[in-house]
Amino acid sequence: MSIRVSVRLERYLVNALSHSLDVQVMEKLVARIIPGYEIHKRIGFPESISVPKRDAAQQIISDLKANGLVCKFAEMLIDVDENGIMGRQVAVHSLQQIISEIEEMGFRYDEEYGVFIEGNQKTKTRGWGVLRPGVSYDLSYLKLDIVGNSKLVRRYSQSTITKTYNWLKKTFQRSVEKRNGRIWSWEGDGGLAAFYLNDKNVNATLAGVEILHELTVYNLFERVLKDPLEIRIAVNTGRLQYSDSVDIKNSPPLRHVEHMESHYTEPNGLSLSPVVYFDLGTKLEKFFEPYRVSNEQFVYRYKLAWE
């Protein structure tokens, strides 16, 4: 995550290193996120001359800042303070000031995952302020599509379609973002969302279920179409190389969730891949029925039904 590093935060980080670690340990710590990092080469000192701790700290923070790795390094300092490094305990100087300064910039520290994520609801990005382009992450994906979009567009006026689709988009966004998901794309006939932190498979599934429930109420009492609006939703999980654009064709987990949605999901239904289903726990699993898609493959489907 790259942020605009304030002079105050830079000073706190330099103090943390120079007061808490020797130069050799500083170097080893930085090498975890900048492979092959060597402080003597970076600062221009011969190997025979010791680098003063404060000079080393200032060079390291400058290099981290240039590479957009300041928050990543701050996360490592928190871990060092909690768990030590190289077999010894370390009390990291100025750590609370570092955390407070980053939080002042609109982020919060997620203790479960040990990362800083966006805390400001008005500045949400596709990657939570955490994901870095070119790096692979395990994510969950929710794909939503409107059934019969082309027919609806031909049958109804533009104002009616706009009103209906705006309602669906707002419902989609609300259900996803209240569970710390992110909208990755929204087109005229549906959208794609991703989930990363805190039970991502469960949260993606619950978002899908909630959208279907909201749609049922909407169709009963609020719709402006003559016939009920129908959608299909699918959820999959898998490892993806993050980028600033969505590339479904070149991403196996995204291709699969799109295939599940278009081929195996009933109108106003939700389909889960097996990996997602078996991560739900018994309370949620009981609402899904297995559906065989080949001799050895299943998806697990949910559809709201009246008893």
Q: Is residue 1 part of a domain?
A: no
Task: Please report, for the domain that includes residue 235, its CATH number.
Answer: 3.30.70.1230
pLDDT tens digits, residue range 169-222?
Answer: 999 999 999 999 999 999 989 999 999 988 999 999 999 999 999 999 999 999
pLDDT at position 1 is: 52
Same domain, 258 and 163: yes
Nearby residues of 91 by Cβ (< 8 Å), 6 or more positions away: 20, 81
* The last residue of a domain, from among 105, 122, 139: 122
* Residue 296 banded pLDDT, cuts 50, 70, 90: confident
Round to whole Å and give the CA distance between 37 and 48: 18
Q: Is residue 239 part of a domain?
A: yes
Position 120 pLDDT exceeds 70: no
In this structure, of 103-112, 179-188, 287-296, the range with the lowest mean pLDDT score is: 103-112
Which residue range forms the structural domain that includes residue 139?
131-303
* Residue 106 banded pLDDT, cuts 50, 70, 90: confident
CB 196 within 8 A of CB 133: no
Could you tell me which of 139, 281, 238, 277 has the C-alpha nearest to residue 197? 139
pLDDT tens digits, residue range 20-71?
Answer: 999 999 999 999 999 999 999 999 999 999 999 999 999 999 999 999 899 9
CB 2 within 8 A of CB 118: no
Quote the tokens at residue 58: 């200032």
Q: Which residue has the higher pLDDT, 130 or 302?
A: 302
Q: Max CA-CA distance within the chain?
A: 82
Q: Is residue 2 part of a domain?
A: no
In percent, the amount of the chain with pLDDT more than 90 equals 82
Same domain, 118 and 160: no
Round to whole Å and give the CA distance between 269 and 288: 10
pLDDT at position 307 is: 52
pLDDT at position 122 is: 63
Q: What is the residue whose two structure tokens read 């609801």?
A: 121
User: If you average pLDDT over residues 264-276, what whole number do you get?
Assistant: 98
Round to whole Å and give the CA distance between 262 and 204: 18
In this structure, of 139-148, 186-195, 243-252, the range with the lowest mean pLDDT score is: 243-252
Q: Count the helix, strand and coil residues of the chain and give each as a percent rounded to the nearest 5.
A: 45, 20, 35
Return the beta strands (E) in 4-126 as ranges. 107-110, 115-118
Q: Is residue 56 part of a domain?
A: yes
